[in-house]
Structure 1
Amino acid sequence: MNDTLLPNVTSFLKSISPFNQLPDEVLDAIASEASILYLAAQDSLPIEPESKHYLYILRSGEVEQRNPDGSLRSRLGTKDIFGFSLHQSQDHPSYRVNALKNSLLYRFNYTELLRAVADYPRVSEQLALSANQRLNSSINVKFSGEKSLFFQKISTVASHNIVVAPSAMSIKEVAYQMRHEHACSCCVIVDQEQLQGMVTDKDMTKRVVALGVDTSQPISTIMTRSPHTIAQDELVLSAMQMMMQYQIQNIPVLNDQQQVMGVITPQQLVHKHSIQAVFLIEKITHCQSLDELEKQAVERQAIFEAMAESDLPGQVIGQVMSLIYDTFTQQLLGMAETVFGKPPCDYVWIAAGSHARKEIHLASDQDNALILDDTATESDQMFFHHVAMYVCKGLDQCGYAVCSGRFMATVARWCQRVEIWQHYYRKWAKNPEYEMLLNLTVYLDIRPIYGNQALFEKVDQYRLQQVTHNHKLMAALVRNTLRTRPPLGIFNHVVLEKNGANQNKLNIKRSAIGCLVDLARIYTLYEGGDPLNTEERIQFAKDQGVINEQSALDLLGTYQFINQLRYSHHLKCLRNGEPVSNYLDPNQFGSFDRQHLKDAFRIISGFQDAIKMKFGC
């Protein structure tokens, strides 16, 4: 390169991430190896020999990338980065680059560039050949301080020091093992690897010693049957919520095969980590009025801000916010029963949509419903209508806005007996027309919050039966999700909202998150899977062989990156005193942020094309 041009190239690189993280001497060395290319409008970038791999940076102008079939891959503008290889590979199918305007480009030998930045891992990761690796390099995850314990998985803190005994073992033998063999406070009762019950040292005192029970009797006579359990992949915070909600102190931890792998207790947490369990969740459970509950909404926002500032994984933030949402709902339902009296029949309150998936954020609204016992009368339904009005109004006061589509238990249609809900799923699954499909899409993801879980299981099992291997339904769901395609063009030209207050903004929920949620849901439901969380669904699809490992990594990396982008935007809204929204201003993105987004959009678009072919849409 002409030495007179070197300062100009170096200065330009300093304005672009990740090059702005490099010292001047490294930038000078990189700039000195740059080639300068000029493309007139309508010109195409020459295809280099397969042995050559280049990275290009657009200094000025506009270009577009076209796939071999002529479809748009991406449109790029000033400071956008592309290339790595224009040749066929798993991550980068061959494509052509055409200039839309007169364009000036800097070209760098990709292999030499990686050597130049080898001592700077953060930079080299963001220049990786794999789009998934580039996205992952932009995801910041921090776990620090004592409070981080509550955002870790149960499996990391569960105690394995626990007595496991068959139901026929005598009370005396179990007590001996608890006291002398393991020196622990509880025993789980297991027959044929399935949990039957649990006994604690307090049970021994209250149910055996105090009542003078013959200790030669089997332990099954005094055990707590069907105890509350928790999965090993749940957050420690979930266990704390369960302890407070049900006033229990010993929770068996189950692995993926529903086998006991340990136990978690509050004493153990305090002993190991010197933490006092004083949380918003506990405060909510002690509220006795709507006014008291409403005051807790401010702390809910503070907790979100703390998590977002700590760059916790999006899945963790969603789970914690969902736990708080659950607790608000459960407390309101308990208060409603006090106000209106004992329910006339069994019922269960369910969450739907993102709340059911445990993907809640500060802008989430209400999606809920009521399932009533089949004995419910019209009079009973009127009782539950009043309960629903009380709860939904209370949630609105606590910051959970009413659903604009009215998918709430206050609507008579969504407060029905088990048999009616089963009829709904049967009708939706057999005739996936637009209105029915919209209803089904909302209530495809459901989770029990409060009440008789057996009623929920009847409906949920029927739901799964109706959707599993239902090709007609899945094809309809695919066509529905293909109505929204991720933007592949230059942000300030053709891909943004065009009307209303959010004109020229990027709707990250509709353009990306919704697409990923739909893809994971379709993959999972077609195979009869019951995971709800999007990341868990992607993992399920990989485990079932529906997608390969690389595809799962691409989907997970994309989803995690997009979610972190959304949560960072929500945090910025709060700091600026603005309403929390999903509309992002592209003018706030740096060049590499745009590059990451384009990587993410291309990955989503590719999976949309693949699922379209799979279901023949």
Structure 2
Amino acid sequence: MTPSSDATLSFLSSVHPYDSLPQAELATLAGQIAQRRVAAGETIYEAGQPLEGLYIVQSGQVDVFDTTGHQISALGPRNSFGERGLMRDGRAATTARAATEALLLVLAPETFRALTEDHTAVRRFFERGAAAAPARRSDLSTQKVEALMARGPISVAPDATLREAAGLMRDHNVSCLCVVEGERLTGILTTGDVTERAVAEGLSGDTPVSGIMTPGPFALSPAALGSDVLHAMLERRIGHLPITEGGRLVGIVTQTDLTRFQAVSSARLIGEIARAPDAAAIAQITANIPSLLAQLVAAGNRHEVVTRLVTDIADAATRRLLRLAEDRLGSPPVPYLWLACGSQGRQEQTGVSDQDNCLFLSDDARPEHDAYFAELAAFVSDGLNTAGYIYCPGEMMATTPRWRQPVRVWRDYFRGWIAKPDPMAQMLASVMYDLRPIGGNEGLYAGLQRETLEASAANSIFIGHMASNALKHTPPLGLLGGFATIRSGEHKSELDLKMNGVVPIADLGRIYALRGKLTEINTRARIVAATQAGVVSPSGGSDLLAAYDLIADLRLTHQADEVRNGHKPDNFMAPSSLSALERSHLRDAFVVVRTMQSALSHSHAVMS
């Protein structure tokens, strides 16, 4: 079936990386695309089969499975799939099945290859996706034990009594205790030991643990692999495995830990969210995000893969809440579009995120319709807060009437900010230039982004003010080249890897997008596109990209470590926790950011 070229063109204009193509080439591409409608449960292709082409989901949901039948992706509108096989031998590397009735656009293999050969940005987009795809599933057997183990296991001394040990197990809801002398592991006591060696034999509650425990238990080091744990448990028929380093107890791995690790995946969480009956159920699912983040980082995924998968979960939660809101309130009186801004808009969410969102309403909306959309916004925003995406402190949410308006009002907002770039306008524009549609009628946003970029780029005064605003967040470098850490308070002597690390780079990326009229929203994609478009020099773009990757990866590694240590993830890291080499690299990365900020400041000083 051949779709309408105009309809396909409109759709592709909102899909990355096709939105980066010149309009004439995009129109030509739209005319070459076929359309395929699939029923719920229908297999689109099997692993090993020749591929019909590259698929783009226009509507509905598609699940992708690896060769073992494990689900690795849950794809919705605007997602592509099939590129791994096309970039190799033309045969499918996975199996794709429609989870719901779906409408797919299909680019023939020769069209896809020509597209990637002619456009570097498109080729790199799919190369990154193809490289990241195998890592979407974290393989338990190749995981380091330090990523699997529970740190700080509950322990007792050998002379502790059976009664005391049983009380500890009950109070901490654990099935084993490590027996230590000082920090050295000497034995292990499990609920099985208590039952079989104590209760069954009628031992007194005053019996010392040393008389019941398993002495000299088998242990592994944190550097061992998950396969070592699995093999040891199967061969020795044990369910608890202490982890030691130089004889010192540092953690423990249980069968429960292994089951929990295998159960957590972004695809599974999204699938469960899609069926959740209410916000409380969604919250139980999103509570797994910290574990997922730690697992993804431990598997060696780069920051842009981890944050994309984490953001996909927030998107799914938002769309589910929108559906639940409509079920409760009835059909909307006019079309609407829910958009995210901030880190969700840029697809850069980590284990610490608040919510930033807004509503675009059809220009047919009348004042009496606002009651419906106010209730819808409150339902969704409250639900997101319940699910762990806390309310925006600045009330940059659809619950605020100002951010819940017809498209014509939004168009006036952007025109006003560009025409009169006062400090408030700069702040608001910096947030709203990161808008990304999440749920609803995407046609309400079509064209507005390009229109706004054109107007922004044509106003050098506005760009200059935006650039000055972007330079307010600076990397934490002291006068003598050292780190300028936080001076007082809870995070004294630490670095804020968000506000002084990734945010300055996100600000730079946004300015590059404005200067080059680039439609990319993700920070990394903006830097790549700006370099290719000549907005940034090749050397400057390459250095900034490397600096961003290092800082963003380090931030996620820190958050993953916090999760594994039983803490809530945050953005504050002590430089002393890094090796001398790591501190040197981080300092160099901050110097690059400061250099690029100086270059931006100088270029706008010259222009003015």
Q: TM-score, normalised by structure 2?
A: 0.60
1:600 counterpart residue number = 589
1:252 counterpart residue number = 106
Instruction: Select 1:451's aligned residue among 418, 440, 453.
Output: 440
1:342 counterpart residue number = 331
Matches within 5 A, 1:50-449: 194-195=31-32, 197-199=34-36, 227-228=58-59, 240-242=75-77, 247-248=101-102, 250=104, 252=106, 255=115, 279-449=268-438
Letter in 2 for 1:345: V
Taking the aligned partners of 2:459 and 2:378, their CA distance within structure 1 comes to 36
Does the 8 Å CA contact 2:3/2:34 hold for their aligned counterparts?
Answer: no
Letter in 2 for 1:385: A
In the TM superposition, what is the alpha-carbon distance from 1:432 to its structure 2 partner?
Answer: 1.4
Letter in 1 for 2:399: T
Distance 1:557 1:259, change over 3 A: closer
In the TM superposition, what is the alpha-carbon distance from 1:368 to its structure 2 partner?
Answer: 0.4
In the TM superposition, what is the alpha-carbon distance from 1:551 to its structure 2 partner?
Answer: 1.7
In the TM superposition, what is the alpha-carbon distance from 1:391 to its structure 2 partner?
Answer: 0.4
1:587 counterpart residue number = 576
Matches within 5 A, 1:532-611: 532-611=521-600
Does the 8 Å CA contact 1:492/1:504 hold for their aligned counterparts?
Answer: no
In the TM superposition, what is the alpha-carbon distance from 1:244 to its structure 2 partner?
Answer: 6.6
Letter in 2 for 1:252: V
Aligned length: 400
Distance 1:238 1:359, change over 3 A: farther
In the TM superposition, what is the alpha-carbon distance from 1:490 to its structure 2 partner?
Answer: 7.8
Distance 1:246 1:498, change over 3 A: farther
In the TM superposition, what is the alpha-carbon distance from 1:579 to its structure 2 partner?
Answer: 2.6
In the TM superposition, what is the alpha-carbon distance from 1:515 to its structure 2 partner?
Answer: 1.0
- Structure 2 unmatched ranges of 5 or more: 6-26, 43-54, 62-70, 78-96, 127-132, 140-264
In the TM superposition, what is the alpha-carbon distance from 1:293 to its structure 2 partner?
Answer: 1.4
Deviations 1:96-121 (A, max 9, x none): xxxxxxxxxxxxxxxxxxxxxxxxxx
In the TM superposition, what is the alpha-carbon distance from 1:596 to its structure 2 partner?
Answer: 0.9
Where 1:348 maps in the other structure, the secondary structure is: strand
In the TM superposition, what is the alpha-carbon distance from 1:458 to its structure 2 partner?
Answer: 4.3
1:472 counterpart residue number = 461
Distance 1:491 1:597, change over 3 A: farther
Instruction: Select 1:463's aligned residue among 452, 457, 469.
Output: 452
In the TM superposition, what is the alpha-carbon distance from 1:549 to its structure 2 partner?
Answer: 2.2
In the TM superposition, what is the alpha-carbon distance from 1:457 to its structure 2 partner?
Answer: 1.5
Does the 8 Å CA contact 2:504/2:593 hold for their aligned counterparts?
Answer: yes
Taking the aligned partners of 1:587 and 1:366, their CA distance within structure 2 comes to 32
Does the 8 Å CA contact 1:229/1:251 hold for their aligned counterparts?
Answer: no
Does the 8 Å CA contact 1:314/1:567 hold for their aligned counterparts?
Answer: yes
Distance 1:166 1:345, change over 3 A: closer
Deviations 1:152-180 (A, max 9, x none): xxxxxxxxxxxx98999xxxxxxxxxxxx
Does the 8 Å CA contact 1:196/1:225 hold for their aligned counterparts?
Answer: no
Distance 1:202 1:398, change over 3 A: closer
In the TM superposition, what is the alpha-carbon distance from 1:547 to its structure 2 partner?
Answer: 2.0
Q: Sequence identity of aligned pairs in percent?
A: 27
Distance 1:202 1:431, change over 3 A: closer
Matches within 5 A, 1:10-25: none
Taking the aligned partners of 1:225 and 1:292, their CA distance within structure 2 comes to 30
Deviations 1:60-110 (A, max 9, x none): xxxxxxxxxxxxxxxxxxxxxxxxxxxxxxxxxxxxxxxxxxxxxxxxxxx
In the TM superposition, what is the alpha-carbon distance from 1:552 to its structure 2 partner?
Answer: 1.8
Deviations 1:288-344 (A, max 9, x none): 222221211123232212101112110001111111111000000000000111101
In the TM superposition, what is the alpha-carbon distance from 1:225 to its structure 2 partner?
Answer: 13
Letter in 2 for 1:511: N
Does the 8 Å CA contact 2:72/2:267 hold for their aligned counterparts?
Answer: no
Taking the aligned partners of 2:480 and 2:296, their CA distance within structure 1 comes to 29
In the TM superposition, what is the alpha-carbon distance from 1:613 to its structure 2 partner?
Answer: 1.2
Where 2:75 maps in the other structure, the secondary structure is: helix
Does the 8 Å CA contact 1:241/1:282 hold for their aligned counterparts?
Answer: no
Deviations 1:122-164 (A, max 9, x none): xxxxxxxxxxxxxxxxxxxxxxxxxxxxxxxxxxxxxxxxxx9
2:473 counterpart residue number = 484
Does the 8 Å CA contact 2:279/2:384 hold for their aligned counterparts?
Answer: no
In the TM superposition, what is the alpha-carbon distance from 1:399 to its structure 2 partner?
Answer: 1.2
Letter in 2 for 1:579: K
Distance 1:227 1:394, change over 3 A: closer
In the TM superposition, what is the alpha-carbon distance from 1:226 to its structure 2 partner?
Answer: 10
Letter in 1 for 2:425: M
Does the 8 Å CA contact 2:482/2:587 hold for their aligned counterparts?
Answer: no
Where 1:495 maps in the other structure, the secondary structure is: coil
Deviations 1:10-55 (A, max 9, x none): xxxxxxxxxxxxxxxxxxxxxxxxxxxxxxxxxxxxxxxxxxxxxx
Taking the aligned partners of 1:495 and 1:567, their CA distance within structure 2 comes to 21
Taking the aligned partners of 1:458 and 1:165, their CA distance within structure 2 comes to 24
Does the 8 Å CA contact 1:353/1:444 hold for their aligned counterparts?
Answer: no
- Structure 1 unmatched ranges of 5 or more: 1-163, 169-189, 206-223, 231-235, 263-268
Letter in 2 for 1:466: A
Deviations 1:510-530 (A, max 9, x none): 212111111111112111110
Does the 8 Å CA contact 1:167/1:196 hold for their aligned counterparts?
Answer: no
Q: TM-score, normalised by structure 1?
A: 0.59
Taking the aligned partners of 1:289 and 1:252, their CA distance within structure 2 comes to 35
Flag the structure with larger Rg.
1
1:36 counterpart residue number = none
- The answer to whether the aligner puts 1:522 opposite 2:357 as a matched pair is no
Letter in 2 for 1:542: T
Distance 1:491 1:442, change over 3 A: farther
Taking the aligned partners of 2:478 and 2:319, their CA distance within structure 1 comes to 45
In the TM superposition, what is the alpha-carbon distance from 1:468 to its structure 2 partner?
Answer: 2.1
Taking the aligned partners of 2:296 and 2:60, their CA distance within structure 1 comes to 26
Where 2:340 maps in the other structure, the secondary structure is: strand
Distance 1:193 1:337, change over 3 A: closer
Taking the aligned partners of 1:225 and 1:524, their CA distance within structure 2 comes to 25
Taking the aligned partners of 1:491 and 1:319, their CA distance within structure 2 comes to 37
Does the 8 Å CA contact 1:482/1:608 hold for their aligned counterparts?
Answer: yes
Which shifted more, 321-330 or 286-295? 286-295
In the TM superposition, what is the alpha-carbon distance from 1:499 to its structure 2 partner?
Answer: 3.7
